[in-house]
Structure 1
Amino acid sequence: MFTPKVGDVVNRQPVTLTKDSTAYEALESFHASGVRIMPVLDNQGKPSGSLSLLRLSETYLLPCAERQREIRTSLAALARTLSSGVPLSPADEGIETFNLFIGAMREESFSGRIAEYEPASLMIMTGNRRTIQQAAIERGVGLLVVTGGHAPDEDILAMAVANGVRVMLTPHDTATAAWLARLSTPVSQVADQSFTTIGIGEPLSHLRQKLLKSGEAALFVTEDDGTLAGVATKSSLLAAIPYGLILVDHNETGQAVPGAESVEIYEVIDHHKLGNNPSLTPIAFITAPVGSTCTLIAARYRESGIEPEQRIAALLLSGILSDTVILKSPTTTGTDRSTAEWLATISGMNAADFGREIFAACSSLKHYGTPQKVVAADFKHFTHSDKRIGVGQVEVVGFDEFAVMKEELLACLAAIKQRDNLFIAGLMVTDIVSETTLFLVEGHTRIAHEMRYPQLEPHLYELKGVMSRKKQMVPHLLKILERL
């Protein structure tokens, strides 16, 4: 199935945060990148949360009287945010909840202000105010932050050690330090734990469905092991698919690889009747009534003044010989013959001998393996008005093997007719020596009256001189459809 995948449009270099990133670091990333949502990753690189600029803004800007002083952070995150050089132990990674007070008043007033709070929950922030520092330590506060780069006196530090009070120094002034402290909360504490992921190999249509269903601004795209691969948004759906198709030897998406309608068709090189869907943009469409598309491809080499390599020339020659049944098919043109001559010269091969080798190698039905593979090997669908038909073709030397497999082949055609909802399902078995085709068909009961070729037995017709599906068989069947 040729289907665009999520990985074709996803941003594979997303801006991310770790669970230990602070709100301040998140704001810096939002400002620098211009994105509006970022995934929060765990230690394995897997999404553990989602943080949007809106959610972060609401957390810090919406008024909330009961939480104005509250700061949830770890000493490690706080020290990093305040540019503190204090050595930290692993235990300092734990999240704590503090009530922040600024020591900017007289000691008596300050002590009264903090008296109603549990001492261990207090974060006292002050400059070089000895009386405030001493009062905070005597009360046994959870943390004393000394601002302005002023180290406390030795006796104050000794008192802090004795009372089990942690002290942190910061070069920032008190106003800046207070603002930064509030933004020291790890994003794991404010991120949304509810988010939607999508696998990088999932069809692009799944992304569209999930974006609409979830209502989220972005989905996190994951690798098979669950690690983040990228971020997909609605704008990802507008991104150009980084590849397209060139249809060669057909021009209908119904005959193309499954999923062809999902990508842009860049070019068509074909020699069949036109049945293509309209293209959204102008494309190169090269078609001509020749016996083989390989003739058209060889012509492009000649038009460009390029001589194909010997092996490419041999490959193109084999295509022409196969399509035109060694230049015997009614579809064969003078252009096919002259092109085959040119390619034979380059490849150093005799076209007639090479053609016989090709058909000798593939004319045995046993070569295909199973009856199903015989039918499916070159089976094409065609549409006329509201009716669809399917016709396969194999070339043989003699009909002995076909006689043995006939009933199994007919059963395969019946199954395909039902599966694909076809009006007619047929198989051309063409003997390249006698230039005769036996046509095995499963279809409408009136076909027997309309075929106008000798019927050898039910479902089987002899078509002498018929070798081309495109130029003889399909036009005949389409006329039958018009009469039914």
Structure 2
Amino acid sequence: MEKVYVIGHKIPDTDSIASAISYAEYKNSFDGKRRYIPSRGGELNPETTFVLNYFNVPTPLLLQTVEPTVDDLALKEPFYARPDTPVYDVATLMEEKNIKNVPVVDENGKIVGVVTERGLARVYVRRTRVEPLHIHPVPIRSLARILQAEILYKPQKQELISGSIHIAVDALHVLLKKIVQGDAVIVGDDEPAQIALLENGAKLLIVVNKAPVSKRVLEIAKQKGATILRTSADAFGAAKLINLSLPVSLIMSKDFPVVSYNTSLEDVKELVFESKYRATFVIDLEGRLVSIITRTDLMRTVRKKVILVDHNERSQAVDGIDKADILEIIDHHRIGDISTLHPVFFYNEPVGSTSTIIASWFFREGIKMEREIAGLLLSGIISDTLLFALSTTTSKDKEIARKLEKISKVNIEDYGKKMLVEGMRIKG
């Protein structure tokens, strides 16, 4: 859902905070396509803090700049792998989804590495020797899936396989000298070799070229507690696929750029275009992966959508206002110098407070007003008119205040005096 930030001037007073919270509530009551977020440009003064505490209203979001950030992008759910995911699966994912980077996350969703196309290439480039091979602990069923192999026999308790892998290309007596207990062997249609290898401690036979495996060989495998897989791949193809059974934790890069929701898009662009990944990774406050930003995501112009309340001058606006998309302005002050990208809804009325304007719209539209909102709006009127003592006070301010008094269930005079006194307290 599209976000719109409702915000007053950067040094907030009670009227601007009350207006931001109440107008966001007003807009959210009938606009289901956007989410209006009450915001503030700076720290609250004692008077406003008293008001929010009195009516038990949460403090608005602190938004000291409206420059576009990561949070303004349409972030997509990322594809990712686990540290024990076989390289084969990541390579398949890259090809199917046409992506160049796959982040690796742990059981808590925290990013711990990145697999790249370059990293995959190194698996082949650096491992040019086909023999000897070594297989890291991998589930037998995963290895069978990667090899597209049948499991002809597997001991019930044997789930993982690891160790050296040999290819039966040497003379049998030479190969048997190399075998140690627990090794795996890639072998072809050679029953005597298959039997000898099992008798000498091989724990896994990978039979290639869909070669036949006799009942006698299967019986010996059962006696010795060894696994037998059969694949249609040849010896070279099987060796190549075994390389891809490596867990991605062994080839992933642990040096990668990350950003948060609050990172400015200017900083993101710099990171992405300087990064070897041509991407950066979005994490939340706990370090969990949220999304991936690539150059494509940064091609379109992104601006925060904002509604300004209780001011319309650039000097009073929050930083970055020139980079924002202003949708509306509601104010009761003189006309200022804010410029907008396109025509906007601009409402300015010579009354004592912006809270008066917003409260009148609630009443005009017949929108139900909760006690808390009524209390905030009443407080905004009291603050900006100094309990109706200022010359800018109008009859409309007083009329609206009396209506709000009933809904908020406070006495204007008693509450107003207490509020103004609280506002004069010095922190510290």
Report the TM-score, using the length of structure 1 for normalisation.
0.56
Give the corresponding residue for 1:331: 392
1:348/1:215 Cα in 2 relative to 1: closer, same or farther (>3 Å)? same
Find the partner of 1:30 among 76, 94, 109.
Answer: 94
**What is the 5 A alignment of 1:233-382?**
233-237=294-298, 244-252=305-313, 254-257=315-318, 263-301=324-362, 305-306=365-366, 309=369, 311=371, 316=377, 319-325=380-386, 327=388, 329-332=390-393, 336-338=394-396, 340-341=398-399, 344=402, 348=406, 356-357=413-414, 359-364=416-421, 368-370=424-426
Amino acid at match of 1:296: I
- The answer to whether the 8 Å contact 2:203/2:227 transfers is no
- The answer to whether the 8 Å contact 1:151/1:169 transfers is no
Amino acid at match of 2:309: V
Q: Distance in 2 between matches of 1:267 and 1:174?
A: 69
CA shift for structure 1 position 255: 2.7
Amino acid at match of 2:113: G
User: Which protein, 1 or 2, shows the higher relative CO under an 8 Å CA cutoff with sep ≥ 6?
Assistant: 2
Give the corresponding residue for 1:92: 160
Q: Distance in 2 between matches of 1:330 and 1:202?
A: 45
- The answer to whether the 8 Å contact 2:273/2:295 transfers is no
Report the TM-score, using the length of structure 2 for normalisation.
0.62
Cα distance per residue 1:259-293 (max 9 Å; x no partner): 66665433211122343443334432222333322
Give the number of aligned pairs.
Answer: 352
1:216/1:29 Cα in 2 relative to 1: closer, same or farther (>3 Å)? closer
Q: Name stretches of at least 5 consecutive residues in structure 1 with no aligned partner.
A: 104-109, 374-484
Q: Distance in 1 between matches of 2:356 and 2:260?
A: 43
Q: Distance in 1 between matches of 2:353 and 2:264?
A: 35
Q: Give yes or no for the alignment of 1:78 onto 2:124.
A: no
**What is the 5 A alignment of 1:409-448?**
none
Give the corresponding residue for 1:431: none
Task: Give 1 or 2 for the bigger CA radius of gyration.
Answer: 1
Give the corresponding residue for 1:479: none
Q: Distance in 1 between matches of 2:356 and 2:336?
A: 21
1:314/1:221 Cα in 2 relative to 1: closer, same or farther (>3 Å)? closer
The DSSP-based 3-state class of the residue aligned with 2:160 is helix
Cα distance per residue 1:209-253 (max 9 Å; x no partner): 544554432333444444434434345556887964321111235
Give the corresponding residue for 1:196: 257
1:24/1:254 Cα in 2 relative to 1: closer, same or farther (>3 Å)? same
Q: Distance in 2 between matches of 1:26 and 1:88?
A: 28
CA shift for structure 1 position 316: 4.0
Q: Give yes or no for the alignment of 1:18 onto 2:112.
A: no
- The answer to whether the 8 Å contact 1:314/1:343 transfers is no
Find the partner of 1:156 among 217, 233, 241.
Answer: 217
Identical aligned residues as a percent: 27
1:29/1:276 Cα in 2 relative to 1: closer, same or farther (>3 Å)? farther
Q: Distance in 2 between matches of 1:251 and 1:66?
A: 68
1:367/1:165 Cα in 2 relative to 1: closer, same or farther (>3 Å)? closer
